[in-house]
Amino acid sequence: MEYCTTIGVDVSDRTSKICVMTKTPGIVKETACATTRVGFADCLAKFDRGWPVVFETGTHCRWMESHIRSLGFRVIVANPAKARISGDPTSKNDRNDARGRASPSPTRRSSSR
């Protein structure tokens, strides 16, 4: 399924980068939040519940998936081995990783849970 607006998250142990992107004009907002339940709740409260939240599998993905779903969002957990969502490897950083996850391109999606 393809969405017009997507929230991409690059998860780190302390701080996660967030990018909200639409097909056009592209990046709508970039921000960061604490990688905690309160941090995500405060940050995601500003966004439409109809926009899916995308992040890769990892250490925090189980609690994040459950928590973000409880906030009313659809969650897409991407398997990095199956989905190329980080973009250009020469410009790899947290901000660009969040942008890659927010990209509305269906070719960059793995299956959702």
CB 77 within 8 A of CB 85: no
DSSP state of 33: E
Q: In tens digits, what is the pLDDT along the chain, a chain of 113 residues?
A: 566 899 999 999 999 999 999 887 788 999 999 999 999 999 999 999 999 999 988 999 999 999 999 999 999 998 877 655 445 555 567 677 777 777 755 434 443 44
- Total number of domains in the chain: 1
Residue 84 lies in a domain: yes
C-alpha torsion angle, residues 24, 112, 36, 91 (rounded to 10):
-50
Q: In the structure encoding, which two tokens stand for residue 82, read together?
A: 């199956």
The CATH number of the domain where 25 resides is what? Answer: 3.30.420.40
CB 21 within 8 A of CB 6: yes
Domain assignment of residue 55, given as a range? 5-108
Residue 113 lies in a domain: no
